[in-house]
Structure 1
Amino acid sequence: MRPSLLALSFLLVAQASLPASPVPAAPPIAGTEAGATPARVMEYLGRGVVAVHQPDGAVFISWRLLGTDQADTAFNLYRTTGAGPTTETGPFSSRPDPVAGTIKLNAAPLVAGTWFLDPGASLQRETTYFVRPVLAGQEGAPSTAFTLRADTPPQPYLSIPLQTPVGYTPGDASAGDLDGDGEYEIVLKQEQRPLDNSRAGTTGDTLLQAYKLDGRLLWTIHLGRNIREGAHYTQFMVYDLEGDGCAEVACKTADGTTDGTGTVIGDPAADWRQPDSATVATSDASGATTTTAGLVARLEGRILSGPEYLTVFAGRTGAALATVPYEPGRHPDTQTPSTEQMKEVWGEGYGNRSERYLACVAYLDGEHPSLVMCRGYYTRAVLAAWDWRDGQLTRRWLFDSDAFAANRAYRGQGNHSLSVADVDDDGRDEIVYGAAVIDDDGSGLYSTGWGHGDALHVGDLVPENPGLEIFDIQERFDQQGLSLRDARTGRPLFAIPSVKADASGGDKGEGPGRGNAFNIDPRFPGAECWAAGSGMDGLYTAQGERFLEHRPRGFPTNFGLLWDGDLLHELLDQNRIVKWNWRNGAVDPLLIAHSCIANNSTKATPALSADLLGDWREEVLWRTRDNRELRLYTSTIPTPYRLVTLMHDAVYRLAVAWQNTAYNQPPHPSFYLDESAPLPPRPAIRVANP
């Protein structure tokens, strides 16, 4: 039986007085036996201390347990109070006047969790918190401190002021340690007039901006007019690709892209956009118009020719470190292909198929991260893997669905998203490309042949099935409207057919467009599954049994996260977090982010959802309606569980890296969380040099 929030509230004071009792040994680090795959090089992280002023005046503090911490690591928490007047007035004047300076808040080292409630802070003064790890009774070095400025108001979020240019809207974000200090910075995409590939029109110029969490702008990259704006064009990877302690940023670039130092890539005067009057005959109804001449697609604003590049930028400065031709190009023989040449390669000539991009980071050798840039999934699909080592960007391999006959089974199998995991348990990552999987060596592992879809979830979704599982929905009106399969082999575990095709709108004639798979109900083992669209309804167990005929009103189908401190997932949609209440068959609100707004239209996704700060729960990053601020929400609900930061689980960390790709999908860890299951072992990792 899971503890109620009332029961959890009694833990608030307990953290301050826990005895120094023995800590149960953590499970052994997986993969450390003789002959095991080398440990993965993950990013060095600090403690991520965060403090939130609560409405009652108390301060909730939490921090990270790292994947490299020993099992018996405990913590001491310190508060530094700034100088102030001897007698204070205001809402906290009845409290004992704290002495200016630093004091330890806990009587004995904290071992039960990585959070603490401080009811005695004088928040009219600057107040700072930091932790020290304790091993064998000896304190380690202090963490980076978190400071609440004097008179910080009670609010459940951290404010990140933005420098949003006039006419721009903040969009998707990613996180990485850009400057090597062990804490995350935010890379934010800013857009003007983004368009879907099916729509003609001239877009604006996309920006990538890097921010410290206090709102300091580090740099801005201008992608320029030759990179079209939209969810399918700019997939930006933020990751420490060479293990030097600082993340790089990688994305597709073109003539006129300007890096964070003002250096221009290619020809700054080039303009490869199609003119307003251009059209092309097509048999593809998506984005086409019927005229007296037949079915035509407008080309206005599309970019169908010109040089294409892949650039790696320095996280510290935004400077371009290396630029190479983007692989594959639109056509193998020319940068200015004709309509007929485009049709030969992609099946159409107006960029609806050729200009759909995906990207990810994967540990293809099991030890070091590689960059994987992708093009196409409706017909031809190409993935190019790159290594960034010692200042050189070199291609590792290229998979092309059209390269030879055996690969053609991989045509048309990709989703509007992708995922990365070691699905065959050989220590090296595979790329889950929708209904197919590409092996770590760039060969095809398998293709189900089920075709293109939208939502995609990869994790330990079915605990009784060995290894990982893949939840997918198929856009094609077919038997696999919603499916769960074994990740290693592609073997179907169950599939639920679409019952009808959508009758109108942009999804006319298609199958479901949304789907989720999370452990939300304690009555059933594994992840509950559901999909929306094409008449699909209800909730299913991980074994494919329908246990609820109709989803209740307001039941989200977009994102999920770990928020309230138990081991079940909560649901995230638009600007709210809710919890499935299985007792009354409804969802209960946990958080509404007032004055905030989600991104990506009906997909209603946050700028970013990830374990960015504090303990193992996930944070949510939303933009405000006036586009002047990002707000980072973090949970202040006590939890009885002490887990390693999710960002030191490779499957989860890589999911955060690819989250901004096309149709954003939520991250999953590699392990199963439930009160009926053992807590996950410490990860087999080593960290990059700080």
Structure 2
Amino acid sequence: MMKKGNAWRRGLSLTAAAALLGTLCGGFPLTAGAAEESGLIADFDMDGILSAADLSAMKQILRGRAPTELQNLQSDLNRDGEVNASDAEMLEDYLLTKITEFPAGVRVTVPQGIIENKRYWAIEAAGDNGWEESTNAGFEGTAYWNYANEIGSSLTWTVDAPADGNYKVTFRYANGGSADDLRTLQVSVNGTSESVRVSFPYTESWTTWGEQSVVLTLKAGKNTIRTAAAGTGGGPNMDYLTLEPTDEAPAQMRNEPEPGALRVENLNRGVVAANTNKGILVTWRILGTDNAGTSFKVFRNGDPTPIYQGTTADASCYLDASGTAADNYTVDVFQGETCTEFACAAQKLTNFNTGTSGAYMDIPMDPPADMTMPDGSTCSYTVNDCSVGDIDGDGTYELFVKWDPSNSQDNAKSGYTGNVFIDCWRLDGKRVWRIDLGHNIRAGAHYTQFLVYDFDGDNCAEMICRTSDGTKDGTGRVIGNGNADYRASSGYILTGNEYLTLFDGKTGAALDSVDYEPARGKVEDWGDNYGNRVDRFTACVAYLGGSGQNASACFGRGYYTRATIAAWDVSGGKLVKRWLFDTGYNKNTPGFGDGNHHCLAADVDGDGKQEVVYGSGIVDDDGKLYSTTGLAHGDAIHIGDFVPDNPGLEIFQCLEDEVHPNGKAVNFGTILRDAKTNTELFRQTAGGDTGRALADNIIAGNAGAEMVGSHNSIVYDCVTGKEICSWSDITKWGQNSVVYWDGTLERGVLDRTMVDKYGSGRIFTGNGVTYNNYSKSNACLTCDLFGDWREEMIFRLSEGSGVRIFTTTY
């Protein structure tokens, strides 16, 4: 009879059982064998449960597949001496609850060794990000498991080992991808952090099944074996695994991060208490190290009774409808019954933003003093772009602020500019340090790209940016020749030393300076003779070494013609060059002229290491050109999984040129392409420069993301390419930024100081603030600064002497 406690499995199996019975015919005599253990009759997969999988196994036997000795013994349910369709009908009746037991006393004996060869079916393991499938023939269960084409998609099997020891674990799988597609899985046992990578080679087709084995150490009794995809292609199609005791040495397990896991900052819970004008919204972070056993308790004003309790399966926020701005909140974090983080205090944002939604806090700042230029003109200062980093390892971000002078210039315009200053501020309003880049660094949106991150893995952030003679670090020390002045009468700076400097996040001290690579060389070689294109700079943080490695700092120079990117690592307080990518000056060199105004890091080929997407061109993690569309320059790039059914990532880009510098026709417009293969998924040409574009999940109900370009302002479905609506149905403003704000997975459209959302209209207006950078109309920074997964928006105050930080009240 079916084991007690498993009756629920019968109900789950009813539909499958009826579908699998089919037309069964033929039979064969029952055989017997020596016995040492007993088992359930008809339990072909030896899992102690009767299910549709057992009925499917009987069906395959009756259709001619040679039975094992045990299957032969198991099959004669009515004990008439033959195995035929009447036995299958009896099993179906049992699964459909038409009968409640088999003939009295029917048990079978299991020959020695059969339990060791038990099949653990993939579809009965605990799957995360994948699905059961029966499309490709040749599997031996009722279906097989298809891993999603994403890093980390996994199966967790529960297996029984008769004794402590080493076991040869054999997987039956199919890999019909390609000869170089190994579908590697990271295999771990019993939830430990140690794992081994096992490759599943090409089997030539998805209907050709093979075996791959690894020796693992198991304990007597129940064990879990987790198999997680190490690449964006996911895992192979999986049928089952078997265990076999062995004297072979086990595979060497290593303490590796989860597949695809990148080394990130060690942040705290970032608890926030936001005034909603209808109570206090308390939000906190769920961290990557949390699991199903992690739970949270929220307390108010030290009262020992929590006002809320939840787990990682719940939203990491709670609205205390009776709370006031005067109340104080803390969050305790538990692993099981143990409190592991006690009284995490909330940052209070007590000011309610009257512009539809949001609470805020201000950080008043002291701007640099006004400056006088060589021609007698003067400039003043306002807050401009910002970044964040944890400078001291306490788990709380500090704010890095660039001060822009009022005479800041675009590269295309002449004129003197004031110095550029970069500050570090704590969220409590205390300035940590100020760096003066000096008069040999021109001010403007394209000149100073500063990267803030923990580049050396010590849990404290550094800052890296371009400097020159006369730069003064956060301790007051001058870099190079402080008396040098490279400014021309036009205001351009086209001669003199250029450096790349590593600054200590704690003190602002310059730790190391190296020559900026590449040097500017001859200005006219970059495409003009007055200094516009030579000083077009980009930058991004990239995990070029992949999982478990420190991030690299990538700095680019040039994109209209010659395109270059230099990758730098930080080791022992020094900048160490990893590689330099350089197309040179030949317009026919692949990648030449194929850059954008910014670059982004993404693992486009699914090998666990990030590439640098600099526009139409992509630089591989080793510094060599990975690919290019040859569609020249554009302003905006967006990268994401915009088409879920297409494996890996996609890139959406707008295009500025009618003709490539090498003479190839481009014809403006937009392109959505497969990041790995450059396969064109969507393409529109236009009659002129398409200067703006955006792709993200901004409309609910579609299978993927949406995309729009400024050439026609029509919103298209990334999956189907079909028109959805006009951009004006969402907002009348620009295609510049997006933000997670209202609690749904669809992002709002951010432009200037307003957020609009499809179907909802205006959901945020920032009062008392303004925006940066002319037509870009951007906030100082949009990021997940604290609280739950939704983003904060940081704008400069209207008078320019500080910032206002908004958090959601949804």
TM-score normalized by the length of structure 1: 0.75
- Matched residues in 2 for 1:595 and 1:578: separation? 18
Unmatched runs of 5 consecutive residues or more in structure 2: 1-125, 130-150, 154-184, 188-195, 198-229, 232-255, 354-358, 370-379, 659-665
State the Cα distance separating 1:404 from its structure 2 match: 8.1
Matching of residue 490 in structure 1 with residue 490 in structure 2? no
Matching of residue 446 in structure 1 with residue 634 in structure 2? no
Unmatched runs of 5 consecutive residues or more in structure 1: 1-23, 81-100, 276-299, 332-340, 502-510, 582-586, 638-690
Structure 1 window deviating more from structure 2 (560-569 vs 127-136): it is 127-136
2:636 and 2:692 in contact (8 A); partners too: yes
Q: Could you tell me which amino acid in structure 1 is paired with residue 655 of structure 2?
A: Q
Residue 382 of structure 2, aligned match among 154, 157, 169: 169
Matching residue of 2:362: 159
Matching of residue 564 in structure 1 with residue 742 in structure 2? yes
Question: Secondary structure, in 3 states, of the residue corresponding to 1:41?
Answer: coil
Question: Secondary structure, in 3 states, of the residue corresponding to 2:758?
Answer: strand
Matching of residue 605 in structure 1 with residue 778 in structure 2? yes
Matching of residue 43 in structure 1 with residue 265 in structure 2? yes
Residue 385 of structure 1, aligned match among 546, 567, 571: 567
1:207 and 1:223 in contact (8 A); partners too: yes
State the Cα distance separating 1:148 from its structure 2 match: 4.0
1:226 and 1:272 in contact (8 A); partners too: yes
Matching residue of 2:13: none
Matching residue of 2:637: 456
State the Cα distance separating 1:122 from its structure 2 match: 5.5
Deviation track 1:158-212 (CA, whole Å, cap 9, x = no partner) reads: 2222222341011010111112110111101101121011100001100001111
2:772 and 2:778 in contact (8 A); partners too: yes
Residue 323 of structure 1, aligned match among 509, 513, 517: 513
- Matched residues in 2 for 1:322 and 1:153: separation? 42
1:461 and 1:518 in contact (8 A); partners too: yes
The CA RMSD measured in Å over matched residues stands at 2.1
Residue 68 of structure 1, aligned match among 289, 305, 308: 289
Matching residue of 2:576: 394
State the Cα distance separating 1:629 from its structure 2 match: 2.5
State the Cα distance separating 1:102 from its structure 2 match: 4.0
Question: Secondary structure, in 3 states, of the residue corresponding to 2:598?
Answer: coil
Matching residue of 2:321: 119
Counterpart mapping for 1:30-429 below 5 A: 32-33=186-187, 34-35=196-197, 36=230, 38-39=256-257, 40-56=262-278, 58-80=279-301, 101-106=302-307, 108-111=309-312, 112-121=314-323, 123-124=325-326, 127-142=327-342, 144-148=344-348, 152-155=350-353, 156-166=359-369, 167-192=380-405, 193-275=407-489, 300-331=490-521, 341-343=522-524, 345-366=525-546, 367-402=549-584, 408-429=589-610
Aligned residues: 537
Matching residue of 1:98: none
2:275 and 2:324 in contact (8 A); partners too: no
Q: Could you tell me which amino acid in structure 1 is paired with residue 609 of structure 2?
A: R
State the Cα distance separating 1:107 from its structure 2 match: 5.7
- Matched residues in 1 for 2:587 and 2:352: separation? 62
- Matched residues in 2 for 1:327 and 1:623: separation? 33
State the Cα distance separating 1:547 from its structure 2 match: 2.8
Matching residue of 1:279: none
State the Cα distance separating 1:46 from its structure 2 match: 0.3
Q: Which is greater in Rg?
A: 2
State the Cα distance separating 1:415 from its structure 2 match: 0.4
- Matched residues in 2 for 1:319 and 1:611: separation? 27
Matching of residue 547 in structure 1 with residue 750 in structure 2? no
Matching residue of 2:37: none
Question: Secondary structure, in 3 states, of the residue corresponding to 2:568?
Answer: strand
Matching residue of 1:296: none
- Matched residues in 1 for 2:347 and 2:263: separation? 31
Q: Per the alignment, do residues 107 and 628 of structure 1 end up closer, same or farther by CA in structure 2, a change over 3 Å counting?
A: closer
Matching of residue 469 in structure 1 with residue 650 in structure 2? yes
Matching of residue 589 in structure 1 with residue 773 in structure 2? no
- Matched residues in 1 for 2:595 and 2:769: separation? 32
Question: Secondary structure, in 3 states, of the residue corresponding to 2:318?
Answer: strand
2:400 and 2:423 in contact (8 A); partners too: yes
Q: Per the alignment, do residues 546 and 255 of structure 1 end up closer, same or farther by CA in structure 2, a change over 3 Å counting?
A: same
State the Cα distance separating 1:308 from its structure 2 match: 0.5
Q: Could you tell me which amino acid in structure 2 is paired with residue 425 of structure 1?
A: G
Deviation track 1:618-639 (CA, whole Å, cap 9, x = no partner) reads: 11111111112311111121xx
Q: Per the alignment, do residues 210 and 342 of structure 1 end up closer, same or farther by CA in structure 2, a change over 3 Å counting?
A: same
Q: Could you tell me which amino acid in structure 2 is paired with residue 165 of structure 1?
A: P
Q: Per the alignment, do residues 254 and 240 of structure 1 end up closer, same or farther by CA in structure 2, a change over 3 Å counting?
A: same
Q: Percent identity over the alignment? A: 41
State the Cα distance separating 1:522 from its structure 2 match: 2.2
State the Cα distance separating 1:29 from its structure 2 match: 4.9
State the Cα distance separating 1:490 from its structure 2 match: 1.2
Q: Per the alignment, do residues 405 and 536 of structure 1 end up closer, same or farther by CA in structure 2, a change over 3 Å counting?
A: closer
Matching residue of 1:683: none
Q: Could you tell me which amino acid in structure 2 is paired with residue 434 of structure 1?
A: G
Structure whose residues are more often strand by fraction: 2
2:272 and 2:348 in contact (8 A); partners too: no
1:495 and 1:544 in contact (8 A); partners too: no
Q: Per the alignment, do residues 463 and 206 of structure 1 end up closer, same or farther by CA in structure 2, a change over 3 Å counting?
A: same
Matching residue of 2:703: 525
- Matched residues in 2 for 1:521 and 1:537: separation? 15
1:252 and 1:311 in contact (8 A); partners too: yes
State the Cα distance separating 1:143 from its structure 2 match: 5.4
Q: Per the alignment, do residues 72 and 32 of structure 1 end up closer, same or farther by CA in structure 2, a change over 3 Å counting?
A: farther
1:25 and 1:72 in contact (8 A); partners too: no
Q: Per the alignment, do residues 462 and 60 of structure 1 end up closer, same or farther by CA in structure 2, a change over 3 Å counting?
A: same
State the Cα distance separating 1:240 from its structure 2 match: 0.2
